[in-house]
A and B are shown apart, each in its own frame.
Chain A
Amino acid sequence: MVSKPHGGRLVRRIVADRTRERILSEQKEYPRVEIDHGRAIDLENIAHGVYSPLKGFLTSNDFQSVLDHMRLDDDTPWTIPIVLDVKEPNFEEGDAVLLYHDGLPIARMHIEEIYTYDKKEFAIKVFKTDDPAHPGVARVMNMGNYLVGGEIELLNELPNPFAKYTLRPVETRVLFKELGWRTIVAFQTRNAPHVGHEYVQKAALTFVDGLFINPVLGKKKKGDYKDEVIIKAYEALFKHYYPKDAATLATVRYEMRYAGPREAVHHAIMRKNMGATHFIVGRDHAGVGDYYGPYEAWEMFENFPDLGITPMFIREAFYCRKCGGMVNAKICPHPKEFHVHISGTKLRKMIMAGEQPPEYMMRPEVFEVIRSFENPFVE
């Protein structure tokens, strides 16, 4: 059996066609609220159940409980506040408003609560720092001074250049069932795959029925691989190196928070909702800079015996010249001079210089794909 949705039931907040037409024909009657891309993506994830059991943006009791206890007010594990901020509300509690992004009405929201909050407390509890150099902290500091909580209903899908690769929880659940997988390990990524990634994924796959590679598409930092490069690189890897009946690839849109250990749990919850039973937690998972220890995310999972998805902690892989293959620190007895670590930064430099990485670092088929792009990296 695939995982039960978080909180028990898969949330779906998509209005029926006739209601949608009626709301859109009356759109001038609603207060209009403009939201940014990240919030629009959150909304899409709420509507499709990626964030089950959330039916909308957090009200203050849930918000404070998430900050203080990493749980919703009803005790369901929840680590990242999914909130909607506004500068100055042009509506009142009890109103229904329409949320717009880029001129498109995306959702109707029922405003249950308008409340203020402490940005510094938000930053320190979620990110463990209030350093504005941290991208997640910077984003919080730039938020409006009010948060609004309440349920949403999706009216329009956001434009999605990768719609054909984007599967929703309803779809992944049916897919896993049809493939006959009872245990599924999910892998979260923002990178084109190198051999180290492949090793970690295959080590995990050894113990379960299926591997679900789920790249996160969306906002990127300069120097990151472009979304299309990640997809095409994985397609090449799948074609040449993965068993067809035991691995699948689909993307999800999500804005990274870089909240390290807290966000690792959030990533696991999203994949639980998609049907995964296991989740690979990386070294310095969802980290940035030096704000979190390399294995802090692993320890975080100890707080959630009731998470409902099993974390898999697989050590970082490297090549050992003496072993003659990919290994990790637990299974290789040889001294450091035999070890070759695969660094994403080093690989990027080689690719930029048009130099082919050795095969124990990157599969030649993957390199070919990356090289076929004029500029594979975000500028």
Chain B
Amino acid sequence: MAEEKKYTTVSIPKPLYDKIKARIEGTGFTSVSDYVTYVLREVLASLEEEEKEEVFSEEEEEKVKERLRALGYLD
């Protein structure tokens, strides 16, 4: 069996911590750590979104297009 998921500690300024704590009151977030994790995941995801998507080799793409035409998906 795998061991418990590992967590690590990150320091943030105390006033920021207090602000976040006040902010998450009455929301679904149960802790500042939860909230910070959520926000960081969101930020990372949006950064990754901007990176270039992978490209197919031209040869491969042409083969796929041929099949799509044969099946009637493309004219």
Contacts and interface: CB of A to CB of B under 8 A. Distances in A.
Interface of A: 1-2, 4-5, 8-10, 60-61, 63-65, 68-69, 73, 75, 115-117, 164, 167, 170-171, 173-175, 178-179, 248, 250, 302, 304-308
A110 B48 CA distance: 31
Nearest to A178: B74
Nearest to A1: B53
Contacts of B51: 4
B16 interface: no
Contact of A308 (B45, B54, B61, B71): B45
Interface string B53-75: 11010001100110110010110
A209 B73 CA distance: 16
The residue among A63, A170, A174 with the most chain B CB atoms within 10 A of its own CB is A174
Contacts of A9: 54
Given A178-B68, A306-B42, 4 more contacts: A75-B41, A178-B65, A306-B41, A308-B45
A306 B45 contact: yes
B35 to A, nearest CB: 11
B38 interface: yes
A160 to B, nearest CB: 13
B1 interface: yes
B15 interface: no
Contacts, number: 65
A61 to B, nearest CB: 4
B10 interface: no
A60 B45 contact: no
B61 A60 contact: no
B63 to A, nearest CB: 9
Contacts of A116: 1
Interface in B12-67: 28, 38-39, 41-42, 44-45, 48-49, 51, 53-54, 56, 60-61, 64-65, 67
Given A5-B54, A175-B73, A175-B74, A61 B45 contact: no
B53 A4 contact: yes
B1 A174 contact: no
A60 B2 contact: yes
A308 B49 contact: yes
A170 B41 contact: no
A2 B42 CA distance: 19
Contact of A170 (B28, B42, B64, B74): B64
B38 A170 contact: no
